[in-house]
């Protein structure tokens, strides 16, 4: 390469870098920064993808309409998306980064309870409002020492304390189940709390849990536990496993000749569960979910149409709940009227009702989670079908 040419290239590189620096340093109009702490990689990438897409759709829509009213101004919404790898430590690190480094006003996410619990500790310590769209574990919003509600952590979904009894009641009343077996991941937060609460509710309703079997994250072979369950011949099997483990468990159960229907938690709700269930072993199974595209309110219908137009697929419950969490965050910011973390938190705590795409939210005084309806869905002919809605 000729010397002048090389010098020219070097000069242009320096210049372009300079312009980049100058443009990024320009004082810009303040924006409302919301951090997204999502499971983009790791155990449940479909969950993270839905969360990110819904948040982006929300931001685009808000910015198209001129932004968020804060005090007298309308400010643009700016997203900062960080991957938490679906791991507890990385979720905490992601929360730390969003709050301390990116300076977000509100953090939306994480979704998985195993991630939302540690991230919530960080949000609480740093005094930043966090809204988890999908974490149903009661511990997420509880102070680990006192057991009282955390100051800064809220959620857009109901908790396992509501979900598990709903499923147990469905099993005993609608499916007339008298005995149940439970198989769950003992190293994961949500399935463990759901299983314990399901057992409690099922036995209170007069049923009997004949087998409580466990495995650990990463296991693929469930034959030993399922063979044990087969011996107890349960009427139903409760599998609060994520969408990517469930098809494996179901296939192995059917292979062993277990014919009992499966019941699942809201962790089943990704459409990927049907894609991964090549053997159609989940056909006819039921699960509890946050909303259904089939029984959607007008507001939800609009969201579903927008989401479909933007991404070409139906929004799952994580997407819908993220959209609601974003809505709540923006409502709190508008209500606070200033870009101040503690004012936004106080505004969020004073909200008593919110009309979301996943239903009508009612926040009782001091509660961090809304009282809202759940739906029972069935997997039938390669899709999710609405069965019933259960009001709180």
Which residues contribute to the site for another protein (CB under 8 A)?
40-43, 45-46, 186, 212-216, 218-221, 223-225, 227-228, 231, 244-245, 247-248, 251-252, 255-257, 272, 275-279
176: left (phi over 0), alpha (psi -120 to 50) or beta: left
Smaller CB separation from another protein, 143 or 219:
219
Contacts of 162 (CB under 8 A, 6+ apart): 371, 374, 392
Smaller CB separation from another protein, 63 or 232:
232
Contact 171, 236 (CB under 8 A): yes
Residue among 139, 82, 131, 73 at smallest CA distance from 361: 131
Burial class (CB in 10 A: 0-12, 13-18, 19+), 314: middle
Supply the DSSP symbol for 112: S
Query: What is the smallest separation between the CB atom of 292 and another protein, expressed in angstroms?
Result: 23
Query: What is the smallest separation between the CB atom of 253 and another protein, expressed in angstroms?
Result: 11
CA distance 130 to 353: 18
* 3 state SS of 358: coil
Query: What is the smallest separation between the CB atom of 180 and another protein, expressed in angstroms?
Result: 16
Query: What is the smallest separation between the CB atom of 220 and another protein, expressed in angstroms?
Result: 4
Residue among 122, 84, 158 at smallest CA distance from 324: 158
Smaller CB separation from another protein, 149 or 271:
271
Please work out, in degrees rounded to the nearest 5, the angle formed at the alpha carbon of residue 315 by the alpha carbons of 364 and 359.
25
Residue among 340, 320, 313, 280 at smallest CA distance from 111: 320
Contacts of 120 (CB under 8 A, 6+ apart): 130, 132, 140, 141, 150, 152, 153
Smaller CB separation from another protein, 142 or 252:
252
CA distance 264 to 240: 5
């Amino acid at each position: 390469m000729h010397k002048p040419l090389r010098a020219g290239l070097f000069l242009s590189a320096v210049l372009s870098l300079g312009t980049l620096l100058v443009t990024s340093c320009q004082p810009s109009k303040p924006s409302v920064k919301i951090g997204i702490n999502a499971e983009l990689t790791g155990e449940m990438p479909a969950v993270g993808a839905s969360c990110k897409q819904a948040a982006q759709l929300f931001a685009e829509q808000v910015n198209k309409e001129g932004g968020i009213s804060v005090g007298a101004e309308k400010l643009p919404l700016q997203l900062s998306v960080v991957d938490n790898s679906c791991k507890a430590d990385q979720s905490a690190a992601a929360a730390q980064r969003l709050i301390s480094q990116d300076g977000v006003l509100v953090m939306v996410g994480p979704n998985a309870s195993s991630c939302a619990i540690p991230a919530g500790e960080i949000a609480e310590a740093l005094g930043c409002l966090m809204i988890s769209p999908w974490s149903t574990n009661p511990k997420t919003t509880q102070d680990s020492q006192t057991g009282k509600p955390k100051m800064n952590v809220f959620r857009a979904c109901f908790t396992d304390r509501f979900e598990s009894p709903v499923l147990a009641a469905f099993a005993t009343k609608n499916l007339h189940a008298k005995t149940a077996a439970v198989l769950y991941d003992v190293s994961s937060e949500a399935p463990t709390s759901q299983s314990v609460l399901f057992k409690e509710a099922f036995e209170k309703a007069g049923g009997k849990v004949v087998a409580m079997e466990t495995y650990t994250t990463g296991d693929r072979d469930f034959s030993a536990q399922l063979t044990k369950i087969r011996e107890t011949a349960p009427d139903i099997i409760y599998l609060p496993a994520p969408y990517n483990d469930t098809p494996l468990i179901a296939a192995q159960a059917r292979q062993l000749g277990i014919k009992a229907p499966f019941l699942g938690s809201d962790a089943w709700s990704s459409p990927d569960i049907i894609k991964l269930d090549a053997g159609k072993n989940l056909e006819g199974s039921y699960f509890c979910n946050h909303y259904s595209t089939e029984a959607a309110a007008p507001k939800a219908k609009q969201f579903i149409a927008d989401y479909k137009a933007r991404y070409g697929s139906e929004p799952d419950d994580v997407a819908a709940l993220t959209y609601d969490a974003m809505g709540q965050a923006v409502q709190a910011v508008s209500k606070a009227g200033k870009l101040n973390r503690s004012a936004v938190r106080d505004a969020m705590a004073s909200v008593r009702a919110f009309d979301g795409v996943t239903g009508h939210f009612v926040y009782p005084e001091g509660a961090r989670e809304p009282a809202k309806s759940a739906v029972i869905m069935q997997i039938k002919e390669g899709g999710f079908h609405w069965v019933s809605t259960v009001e709180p």
